Amino acid sequence: MDRRLHSANATQNRHRMVAMNILSWADLHETEKDPTLRALLGKRIASFRSSLSRLHANKGEYLQALRCEWQALSKDMCYPRLATSLRSFARTTLMALGVHRPQEL
């Protein structure tokens, strides 16, 4: 119970939690020698970066959101990631222009 009440608990801060996930998966990615496993780890890191991008966009940090999404795309360059990133770029741009409002605040 004390852990849930502790002010430095990472799980109460979604940005911090996702950022720490990125760091831990990146450490695994750097040490992995098998190319197949490295590719899977890269996809996972890209997924976390995309999540972080969405969180930044929801907070109004649009440039940071675009940067995170670009990093996700560069980590996992494939058609599904490209489609996801293009949707994210469009969402973030529309939010910056005031045309779209996030539903999850």
Report pLDDT digits (tens) over 12-40: 788 889 999 999 999 999 999 999 999 99
* Res 5 pLDDT > 70: no
CATH of the domain at 85: 1.25.40
Report pLDDT digits (tens) over 53-72: 999 999 999 999 999 999 99
Task: Please give the tally of structural domains in the chain.
Answer: 1
Dist. CA 104–CA 102, nearest whole Å: 6
Whether 47 is in a domain gets the answer: yes
Cα atoms in the Cβ-side hemisphere of radius 13 Å centred on 7 = 0
Whether 33 is in a domain gets the answer: yes
pTM of the complete model:
0.82
Dist. CA 64–CA 46, nearest whole Å: 15
* 81: three-class secondary structure by DSSP: helix
pLDDT of residue 13: 83
Whether 104 is in a domain gets the answer: no
Q: Which residues form the domain of 67? A: 2-97
Q: What is the dihedral of CA 4, 10, 15, 21, to 10 degrees?
A: -130
Whether 103 is in a domain gets the answer: no
Whether 25 is in a domain gets the answer: yes
Whether 71 is in a domain gets the answer: yes
Whether 80 is in a domain gets the answer: yes
Pair of tokens at residue 102: 């996030």
pLDDT tier at 1 (50, 70, 90 boundaries)? very low
pLDDT of residue 9: 63
Q: Which amino acid is at 105?
A: L
